[in-house]
Structure 1
Amino acid sequence: MAPPKSPDPAIAIVGGGLGGLALAIGLLKHGVKIHIYEAASVFSEIGAGVAFGPNATRALNLIDEALLEGYKKHATFNHDRARDHTFMTLRWGMDERKEGGHKVGDLIGQLEDTWNPSGAEKLGVRTRSCIHRARLLDVLVGLLPEGITSFGKSFEDVEEQTDGTLKLLFADGTTASASAVIGCDGVKSRVRKIVCGPDVEASYVNEYAYRAMVPRADAEKVLGVELALNGHLHCGYGGYIVTYPVEQGAFINMVAIPHEPAETHAWNQDTWTVPTNREDFIKRFTGWNPALVELVGQYALPQKWALFDLEHNMPYCRGRIGLLGDAAHAATPHMGAGAGMAIEDAYILSNLIGFAKVSNSMERIFKAYDAVRRPRTQKLVEYSKISGMAIDFLVPDIGDNTRRMKQRLEDMYRWLWHEDLEAQLVEAKNLL
């Protein structure tokens, strides 16, 4: 009598960021055995505020209603209820460069969901919601059982075994067995090198960010309630400043992003941040709203963060190894959509795996996932780049024509917010 066949090992999720944990929740809901391998000693997130549009909150709900409910407990919205459908209020961040032109602070317009404004309301949110990354991470971790995560596991490589399983190798010399590997290990992903080869790497986009978290009282005192407690995008020549409330309005997240000419500015690709100071920031944003610049300068962190993106046409999978989130398609933050795209990925991939239920179909599952996700996510990389250039008045056929700029942004946001994710899942299932 033949010995009983040993059960398949778990699917390995490499990386415990927002996308990896959302995927884990989705897979567990479908009864799929998983294990998370995280390089850090605890779950943690870099950064402060993260914005979600209607597509992202729908994806949270589609993965697990409990995930959306947890998110809503910490979400922050525009203070002004007349802006429930507004994603951002666009303003001039500096004076227009022409005689008699617009002045700093003048209204450009509202970037709002005019196509399906009730969609977000039905989920108990609004067109724009923001959350501190640490709070969202807490929500995700709270939905995971004990014993499914190994910390301090820096992924190095993977080897296919004769029995069809995969052997993961970690920097500490340990190994693990998996039926499949999903790289959720961010923009500098090691899993991506295996899937896409060493030449597919994120590129510096000649932009960097100054970040500040300003207490509500100070922001209100300097800017007033209207500017402090509603999301604003202050547009200007060669840069922008975005401000929005987080932590239910206790703090205002402020990020200033200049765009530098490629020939005058380089960045060491091996590091995310370099030291800076208040004087550097104020000098770079000379000519902008002085009250806003002074406020950001007062609370700005002593580093500036480089911005990278990952534009390529390589598949997001190779055999039983796949990629999700920034590991596959890191985008600049100019549309506030990077985290939401990872949540979309998690919804599609977890449902495909749960639908198939057979471990030896992972290659076909990954191919179907790649077929429906790569076109959309790579378009986001492209659109985010265009969006940043547009609000910096750097798109050649738009410049500082704010009417045309707003129209271009609206076209891209309509595409972003109103993707039918359930139809996309059906399409992927049909490919199986």
Structure 2
Amino acid sequence: MSPLPAPSPPSFQNPSSLPLAIIGGGLGGLALAISLLNLGIKPHIYESAAFFSEIGAGVTSGPNAVQAIGLIDDKLLAGYKKHATFNKDCERRDTFLSFRWGKDTDGKGEREKERKAGELMFHLDDVWHSEGAELMGVKTRSSVHRARLLDEMVALLPPNITSFGKTFESAEEQADGSVQLSFADGTTAFASAVIGCDGIKSRVRDIVCGPDIQATYVGEYAFRAMVPVKECESKLGSELACNGQLYCGPGAYIVTYPVDHGAFINMVAIPHERGEKWSWEQADWTVPASSDELLHHFRGWHAPLIALIAKYCQPRKWALFHLQHDAKYWKGKICLLGDAAHATTPHLGAGAGMAMEDAYILSNLIAAVRGSDDVERAFRAFDAVRRPRTQTLIENSRVAGLATDFMMEGVGDDVERLKGRFEEWYRWLWAEDLEVQLERAKGLL
């Protein structure tokens, strides 16, 4: 008698074919939907806007983020690579950013000699040769326009899995184990479980973590400019224009990098408010601003750089907030992903990458349990492995912002110490093996 075939592992089953509800159609929500679909799980996206859209210009990815994108879907990685922009110079292939002096220095005090604005401090290279980027066929640092990446994600979604104009209000678990969703337009829907991907101002987070867990202002805001590469090259030279740069100075920094295959240089200037207590009084986090305000904050900085930013600066500034807390990322059949759980400042260029990591880990954990009646085990394991990593990133990013502003205690503008700290942060960020992390999380199921 022939031996019976080994039984296949049980697949995730939704009660009454109810989908998993994804609240929010940003990059994190769409990445999660793509991964769930690939694993045979039916999601439904509820988006408050009338169509998919993304605010902002560049998404920067290091090796860990690229690895996550590739693990989610080969086609998504191909779409990412189609739009990815890298450092132009071959010798900067493994460089994430080149750190430079933002202002002239006088050489007094502990510093041995004068430094000129724009002069190199050090190259932050991937000296560990993290496998994520190399194996995926990209360089250490890659950037894409948010809208381009969103378009690639939307192209991978089947029709009829998204409802637009749905502003989420509440969720309530029912006696049969389903979850009823209520929206601002008076409609309701049912789901087997809910994942909140609704950003830093998440309404889903209020349910999971309580109303006291809110984003806090970090005393910084950003001015943004998109500069044509030809003009940037003529004012700064090709090396500074076409490779990622980070200009450090007292109380502020400026980061520049090419986007849209090098057609434009994205420039972001971030001053830091002095003192230890700050508050953002405006209801909106994006408010009008002028180039005169930029010039006031960056008086004495690298003149050709500041002139370019002032010329192309958008007439507003963006307040920076983060979401540092110790609350669980799940409650019952509701879980949080991406900025809804762990929004961070941009000082390490890792926020979007963390959402990609989340999507890979959470989708595979959901697929590893028997069904929605068991989904809380997946959420619990997700929280166990993701909360420590993402909250550590928030703290590292906060301190990195101080370091670039020469405000980190014990480091100041000491180049060797500054380089050492950034190498520590990026080694920790890039060296994570997501497949090993997933197996560790599955061991907790």
TM-score (norm 1): 0.97
2:5 maps to 1:15: no
Matched with 2:287 is 274
2:334 maps to 1:321: yes
Which whole-Å CA distance do the structure 2 matches of 1:96 and 1:187 have between them? 38
For 2:20, the aligned partner's letter is I
What secondary structure sits across from 2:314 in the alignment? strand
What secondary structure sits across from 1:32 in the alignment? coil
For 2:49, the aligned partner's letter is A
Shift of the alpha carbon at 1:117? 5.0
What secondary structure sits across from 1:194 in the alignment? helix
2:314 maps to 1:309: no
2:64 maps to 1:55: yes
Matched with 1:173 is 186
- Greater shift, 83-92 or 217-226, is seen at 217-226
Question: Which residues in structure 2 correspond to 1:131-170 (within 5 Å)?
Answer: 131-170=144-183
Question: Which residues in structure 2 correspond to 1:199-278 (within 5 Å)?
Answer: 199-262=212-275, 266-268=279-281, 270-278=283-291
Q: Deviations over 1:99-128 (max 9, x none)?
A: 342121111111011112565222110000
For 1:349, the aligned partner's letter is L
For 2:155, the aligned partner's letter is G
2:378 maps to 1:369: no
Matched with 1:393 is 406
Whether the 8 Å CA contact 1:8–1:359 is kept in 2: the answer is: no
Percent identical = 61
What secondary structure sits across from 2:186 in the alignment? coil
2:105 maps to 1:92: no
Whether the 8 Å CA contact 1:204–1:269 is kept in 2: the answer is: no
For 1:273, the aligned partner's letter is T
Which whole-Å CA distance do the structure 1 matches of 2:227 and 2:278 have between them? 29
For 2:303, the aligned partner's letter is P
What secondary structure sits across from 1:367 in the alignment? helix
Whether the 8 Å CA contact 2:217–2:278 is kept in 1: the answer is: no
Which consecutive residues of structure 1, in runs of 5 or more, have no partner in the other structure? Answer: none
Whether the 8 Å CA contact 1:273–1:303 is kept in 2: the answer is: yes
Matched with 1:45 is 54
Aligned length: 428
Q: Deviations over 1:365-396 (max 9, x none)?
A: 10000000000000000000011111110001
Which whole-Å CA distance do the structure 1 matches of 2:100 and 2:269 have between them? 14
Matched with 1:127 is 140
For 1:258, the aligned partner's letter is P
Which whole-Å CA distance do the structure 2 matches of 1:167 and 1:414 have between them? 43
TM-score (norm 2): 0.94
Q: Would the alpha carbon gap of residues 357 and 25 (structure 1) be closer, same or farther in structure 2, given more than 3 Å must change?
A: farther
Matched with 2:4 is none
2:435 maps to 1:426: no
Whether the 8 Å CA contact 1:85–1:112 is kept in 2: the answer is: yes
Which consecutive residues of structure 2, in runs of 5 or more, have no partner in the other structure? Answer: 1-13
What secondary structure sits across from 1:95 in the alignment? coil
Shift of the alpha carbon at 1:263? 6.2
What secondary structure sits across from 1:167 in the alignment? strand
What secondary structure sits across from 1:110 in the alignment? strand
2:128 maps to 1:115: yes
RMSD between superposed Cα atoms in Å: 1.3
2:37 is matched with which residue: 17, 25, 28? 28
For 1:87, the aligned partner's letter is F
Shift of the alpha carbon at 1:265? 5.3
